């Protein structure tokens, strides 16, 4: 590099030196090239400068950059943007088998079951805002809670060449094997809304135990002791399991006996894969039957807003009123002109989304992030709750 023009930027000089080594076969196909840190030390430059040199090599098709693992010499150099396998790199993850896109902009994929006004939109807003501040982009794929679509989405995002992933896992007893491959391959990703048992991956969610406990305590403060707990099947979904735990803890601390006969744990129509009118009607009938069989119920705790909507319809069809006859509380509620129709536990979705995006970027740079972050939820009191009736319904 002694004959280089002093006016040439250092990142170009490093690029030229590495390109020459690759073309001279000093670095062979599939072999790892020096990292940003190593190049910074070798040439006495900042990591920003060495990073720019590596990005230029990737754009020119000389190397494949695999987040969390390093940069490797690509097959068929000078074919920027062309997919090419690298022997022995990223085996089983799919992450190392694809060339980086011909751009210096970072791209983070969001794989989410679904989103709407009551829950999910805030997550997306937080992530998108964080991506804008980082001069990067967010790509979204919905899975509707179907494991096969989740697998396909992860594989597709890796083929697209994303720099990291944010995953809102589908509910279910078993986690997606593609997620395990990401862990093994040390691909930068975080989970949102829930964590997965047995998976060593960072997660950002609501402190669901504390939130459910606070909501239940509020019903107790209003004099409610016979509360119907309405939820989809837990199925090893940590968010639902934690809400159940918070509900139980509140009863234990107040010395109030739990009556599991008041619970409905098989609401299916709010699951993305079973969201049909027929299933909704069946779930409304389940709630109506439980209320008719137990006229001493004065409160309903719904673990999701869409379940609360079903409960509202069930109560109305029985000729009862909210909150005069039955109080109703849920997790989340859409806002309309500054008004929330339901008393609910408001999750800090935008902060959850922002942190998730920022953590992916940190993981990509090799930084350590907390394994599990739980954010507080706020109790928002509205007109769906009121004092319990002193006598049961006839």
* SS3 labels along the chain: CCCCCCCCCHHHHHHHHHHHHHHCCCCCCCCEECCHHHHHHHHCCCHHHHHHHHHHHHHCCCEEEECCCEEEECCCCCCCCCCCCCCCCCCCCCCCCCCCCCCCCCEEEEEECCCECCCEHHHHHHHHHHHHHCCCEEEEEECCCCHHHHHHHHHHHHHHCCCEEEECCCCCCCCCHHHHHHHHCCCCEEEECCCCCCCCCCEEEECHHHHHHHHHHHHHHCCCCCEEEECCCCCCCHHHHHHHHHHHHHHHHHCCCCCHHHCECCCCCCCHHHCCHHHHHHHHHHHHHHHHHCCCCCEEEECCHHHHHHHHHHHHHCCCCCCCCCEEEEECCCCECCECCCEEEECCHHHHHHHHHHHHHHHHCCCCCCCEEEECCEEECCCCCCCCCCCCCC
Q: Is the model's pLDDT at 251 over the cut of 60?
A: yes
Q: Which pLDDT belongs to residue 28?
A: 86
Report for 14-18, 21-25, 219-223, 233-237: range of highest mean pLDDT? 219-223
Largest distance between two CA atoms of the chain:
96
Q: Which pLDDT belongs to residue 50?
A: 87
Domains in the chain (CATH in brackets) are 1-104 (1.10.10.10), 107-205+349-377 (3.40.50.2300), 208-346 (3.40.50.2300)
Q: Which pLDDT belongs to residue 183?
A: 86
% of the chain exceeding 90 in pLDDT: 55
Note the pLDDT tens digit of each residue in 164-208: 999 998 865 556 788 888 888 889 999 998 877 767 788 999 999
Q: Which pLDDT belongs to residue 95?
A: 39
% of the chain exceeding 70 in pLDDT: 86
Residues 6+ apart with CB under 8 A from 23: 77
Spatial distance between the Cα atoms of 213 and 251, rounded to a whole number of angstroms: 9
pLDDT band at 82 (very low <50, low <70, confident <90, very high): very low
Spatial distance between the Cα atoms of 358 and 350, rounded to a whole number of angstroms: 12
Note the pLDDT tens digit of each residue in 112-151: 998 887 788 999 999 999 999 999 999 999 998 888 899 9
pLDDT band at 32 (very low <50, low <70, confident <90, very high): confident
């Amino acid at each position: 590099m002694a004959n280089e023009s002093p006016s040439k930027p250092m990142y170009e000089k490093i690029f030229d030196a590495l390109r020459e080594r690759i073309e001279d076969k000093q670095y062979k196909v599939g072999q790892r090239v020096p990292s940003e840190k190593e190049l910074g030390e070798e040439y006495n430059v900042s990591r920003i400068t060495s990073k720019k040199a590596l990005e230029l090599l990737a754009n020119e098709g000389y190397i494949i950059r695999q987040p969390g693992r390093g940069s490797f010499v690509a097959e068929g150099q000078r074919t920027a943007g062309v997919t090419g396998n690298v022997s022995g790199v990223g085996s089983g993850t799919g992450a190392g088998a694809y060339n980086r896109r011909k751009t210096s902009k970072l791209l983070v994929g969001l794989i989410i079951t679904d989103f709407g006004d009551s829950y999910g939109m805030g997550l997306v807003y937080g992530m998108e805002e964080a991506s804008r501040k980082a001069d990067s982009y967010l790509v979204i794929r919905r899975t509707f809670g179907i494991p096969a679509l989740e697998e396909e989405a992860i594989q597709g995002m890796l083929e697209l060449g994303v720099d990291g992933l944010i995953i809102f896992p589908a509910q279910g007893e078993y986690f997606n094997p593609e997620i395990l491959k990401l862990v093994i391959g040390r691909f930068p990703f975080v989970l949102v809304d829930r964590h997965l048992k047995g998976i060593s991956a960072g997660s950002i969610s609501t402190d669901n135990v504390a939130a459910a406990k606070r909501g239940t305590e509020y019903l107790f403060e209003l004099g409610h002791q016979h509360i119907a707990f309405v939820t989809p099947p837990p199925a090893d979904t940590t968010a639902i399991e934690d809400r159940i735990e918070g509900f139980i803890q509140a009863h234990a601390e107040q010395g109030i006996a739990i009556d599991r006969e008041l619970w409905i744990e098989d609401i299916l129509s709010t699951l993305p894969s079973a969201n049909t009118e027929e299933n909704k009607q069946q779930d409304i009938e389940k709630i109506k039957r439980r209320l008719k069989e137990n006229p001493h119920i004065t409160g309903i705790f719904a673990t999701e807003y869409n379940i609360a909507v079903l409960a509202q319809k069930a109560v109305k069809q029985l000729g009862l009123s909210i909150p005069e006859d039955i109080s109703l509380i849920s997790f989340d509620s859409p806002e309309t002109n500054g008004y929330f129709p339901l008393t609910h536990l408001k999750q800090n979705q935008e902060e959850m989304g922002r942190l998730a995006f920022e953590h992916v970027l940190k993981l990509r740079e090799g930084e350590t992030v907390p394994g599990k972050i739980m954010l507080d939820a706020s109790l928002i009191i509205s007109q769906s709750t009121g004092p319990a009736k002193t006598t049961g319904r006839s």
